[in-house]
Chain A
């Protein structure tokens, strides 16, 4: 199938998924107990105030009407309004999403740069000491509670050693570079402002490091399995018989054979880390989607939650599609369809 047709078909299939997703979060927000209006109106609010608030947000309508209104709004760029701050959800998402994206990309980079070589090492020295060490370290890191590690790293790297700032995305006393992508490091580079880049990077370093721990183990494990499988191929035996140096076989032939598996796990982990950023953002007071989601949840402010889940749905689907397209680029034998 031609790439363009394939892409179009995949993109169209995202729509029913998003509808289902919005129905799910809508159900969670409206059917479960909890009194969002009462919470937003405050404890002293009279019955009239509550009713007025409910009317203002359309919460006095029957549920199916509310849902249809919401869906209709989504397609017109109206993603609802926070019951708590009265800000438009889409405006908030525009600010918070790039922060989480930047954090996630940084964490995925760290996990890949460390995890893939570690997995390689583990496979090449299968069942020997390096293999065992790598496996234990990987299991070790994935077993720590992320929020606890975040706290400890924050206080060691940020307070005791004073290497990195302990919170936020940028120096509060300085103005960040003008927002183009919303990712401060990228914006700084676009302006060739290396000072700002350094500041943003130093704010990003600790949270990204802590976030990457969650993925190190799986990246390492999948890489190890893929390398072992690639090493087991007849072609490798042939190459060895031909006298090609083992180092060349590994870097040239085996590595290429494992790219698909590595790509799969990295894409998967990207989604995982984006969701896992919730806890790390909470500790580092990093103003991203995760912090936004937690704060909104605690206030039973469900319009932002619905917006966040739908945004995640879009991002996850796009990542999946991009991964499938990349398969075909890495391995021309794979056909789209």
Chain B
């Protein structure tokens, strides 16, 4: 059986594979998205090797070097030192992993909730759809940032609660998108065929419909990733996120606020780090949209 399907695929490449190949070609022709991809790969590599390459890994914890307070960038401290003498270069690089992790958790949580609710609403229709979409509307009416701040404050400060708070306000976008995509496929012949041979509702929804609407959802995941990181940094900046001495970028900028602009390096480098991370996700997302979402290809 496995052999047979193999020969079949080599004989006539599946249209999905062919599309993918064409997409990869288009993606590679777009210099901006390639830059984004390369930057992102670098960011991920840095996140993994940071503890091994930074000069002062112990500065990511509560290390204090009173003699090295507020030193400007030089050959020893590339990004300068902060108000308790910690190396900002080490802390910024060590913060990369945390930022990535936060983005992944928020996006995965938000996508899971949103796709499930949106998929169920679109597939079953009727009162289930009405109920779920009214709930979604309510969430969409509250300003996301304020609700995220309120939820996180109520749960208590900390990076885990930041992720929960943001994910809780992030899913409605995914629910809306998934619902509209499911609606457009619900009456297609292949769905009817699957139903006809006795597939259950959940199987039809998750095995037959979902793979066919994955592209726009992936595009949204990648464009939202950067903004999720931004939002988490904003909450960290307000003081709700990772507590000291964790090297969280938003909190680091907040630490540097009192010393800005005279000791500009404290806030500038974590800010640049956030920017680079978000910018590369946005470049990538822009390229992916051109590639996977044909309606947006203009």
**Of residues A33, A139, A160, A228, which shows the largest number of chain B Cβ atoms within 10 Å of its Cβ?**
A139
B20 on the interface (CB 8 Å rule)?
no
User: What is the 8 Å Cβ interface bit string for chain A, positions 11-23, against chain B (1 contact, 0 not)?
Assistant: 0000011001100
B282 on the interface (CB 8 Å rule)?
yes
A215 on the interface (CB 8 Å rule)?
no
B241 to chain A, nearest CB (A): 12
Determine if B141 and A145 form an interchain contact, defined as CB atoms under 8 angstroms apart: no
Question: Given known contacts A145-B233, A278-B149, A308-B146, is B32 in contact with A317 (CB within 8 Å)?
Answer: no
Question: Given known contacts A155-B260, A308-B146, is B141 in contact with A317 (CB within 8 Å)?
Answer: yes
B235 to chain A, nearest CB (A): 10
User: What is the 8 Å Cβ interface bit string for chain B, positions 21-45, against chain A (1 contact, 0 not)?
Assistant: 0000000000010000000000000
Complex CA distance for A126 and B298, rounded to whole angstroms:
9
With CB as the reference atom, state the residue of chain A lying closest to B238.
A294
Question: Given known contacts A139-B286, A159-B261, is B234 in contact with A279 (CB within 8 Å)?
Answer: yes
Determine if A32 and B137 form an interchain contact, defined as CB atoms under 8 angstroms apart: no
- Measured between beta carbons, the chain A residues less than 8 angstroms from B151 are 28, 32
A interface residue count range (under 10 / 10 to 19 / 20 to 34 / 35 or more): 35 or more
B253 to chain A, nearest CB (A): 6
Q: Of A33, A143, A302, which one neighbours B150 at CB under 8 angstroms?
A: A302
With CB as the reference atom, state the residue of chain B lying closest to A142.
B282
Determine if A151 and B154 form an interchain contact, defined as CB atoms under 8 angstroms apart: no
A135 on the interface (CB 8 Å rule)?
yes
Q: Of B147, B240, B253, B278, which one neighbours A28 at CB under 8 angstroms?
A: B147
Q: Of B134, B253, B298, which one neighbours A148 at CB under 8 angstroms?
A: B253
- Measured between beta carbons, the chain A residues less than 8 angstroms from B274 are 144-145, 148
| Count of inter-chain pairs, beta carbons less than 8 A | 144
A309 on the interface (CB 8 Å rule)?
yes
Q: Of A28, A142, A145, A298, which one neighbours B250 at CB under 8 angstroms?
A: A145
Determine if A300 and B141 form an interchain contact, defined as CB atoms under 8 angstroms apart: no
A116 on the interface (CB 8 Å rule)?
no
Determine if B149 and A32 form an interchain contact, defined as CB atoms under 8 angstroms apart: no
A236 to chain B, nearest CB (A): 15
Determine if A275 and B141 form an interchain contact, defined as CB atoms under 8 angstroms apart: no
Determine if B139 and A29 form an interchain contact, defined as CB atoms under 8 angstroms apart: no
Complex CA distance for A308 and B141, rounded to whole angstroms:
12
Determine if B271 and A148 form an interchain contact, defined as CB atoms under 8 angstroms apart: yes
With CB as the reference atom, state the residue of chain B lying closest to A299.
B153
Determine if A143 and B275 form an interchain contact, defined as CB atoms under 8 angstroms apart: yes
A291 to chain B, nearest CB (A): 11
- Measured between beta carbons, the chain B residues less than 8 angstroms from A297 are 146, 149-150, 152-153, 240
User: What is the 8 Å Cβ interface bit string for chain B, positions 270-297, against chain A (1 contact, 0 not)?
Assistant: 0100110011001100100000000010
With CB as the reference atom, state the residue of chain B lying closest to A290.
B146
Question: Given known contacts A142-B282, A147-B237, is B144 in contact with A275 (CB within 8 Å)?
Answer: yes
Determine if A155 and B261 form an interchain contact, defined as CB atoms under 8 angstroms apart: yes
With CB as the reference atom, state the residue of chain A lying closest to B36.
A139
- Measured between beta carbons, the chain A residues less than 8 angstroms from B271 are 144-145, 148, 152
A276 on the interface (CB 8 Å rule)?
yes
Complex CA distance for A279 and B142, rounded to whole angstroms:
16
Complex CA distance for A251 and B226, rounded to whole angstroms:
36
Complex CA distance for A25 and B156, rounded to whole angstroms:
16
Q: Of B141, B144, B253, B275, which one neighbours A21 at CB under 8 angstroms?
A: B141
Determine if A34 and B150 form an interchain contact, defined as CB atoms under 8 angstroms apart: no
B166 on the interface (CB 8 Å rule)?
no
- Measured between beta carbons, the chain B residues less than 8 angstroms from A317 are 141
Determine if A160 and B149 form an interchain contact, defined as CB atoms under 8 angstroms apart: no
B186 on the interface (CB 8 Å rule)?
no
Question: Given known contacts A159-B261, A160-B261, A278-B149, is B278 in contact with A24 (CB within 8 Å)?
Answer: no
Question: Given known contacts A148-B274, A155-B260, A309-B147, is B226 in contact with A143 (CB within 8 Å)?
Answer: yes
User: What is the 8 Å Cβ interface bit string for chain B, positions 245-273, against chain A (1 contact, 0 not)?
Assistant: 00000100100010011000001000100
B185 on the interface (CB 8 Å rule)?
no
A 159-215 contacts with B by CB, 8 A: 159-160
Q: Of B149, B237, B260, which one neighbours A293 at CB under 8 angstroms?
A: B149
With CB as the reference atom, state the residue of chain B lying closest to A18.
B141
A44 to chain B, nearest CB (A): 22
* A/B interface sample: 8 pairs, CB < 8 A: A17-B137, A34-B156, A139-B279, A143-B226, A144-B275, A148-B274, A148-B275, A274-B143
**A145-B237, A313-B141 are known contacts; what are 15 more A-B pairs with Cβ within 8 Å?**
A17-B141, A20-B134, A20-B135, A20-B137, A21-B138, A29-B150, A139-B282, A143-B278, A144-B275, A145-B233, A276-B145, A294-B149, A294-B238, A298-B239, A312-B142
A residues whose Cβ falls under 8 Å from a Cβ of B: 16-17, 20-21, 24-25, 28-29, 32-34, 126, 132, 135-136, 139-140, 142-148, 151-152, 155-156, 159-160, 225, 228-229, 271, 274-276, 278-279, 282, 290, 293-294, 297-298, 300, 302, 305, 308-309, 312-313, 316-317
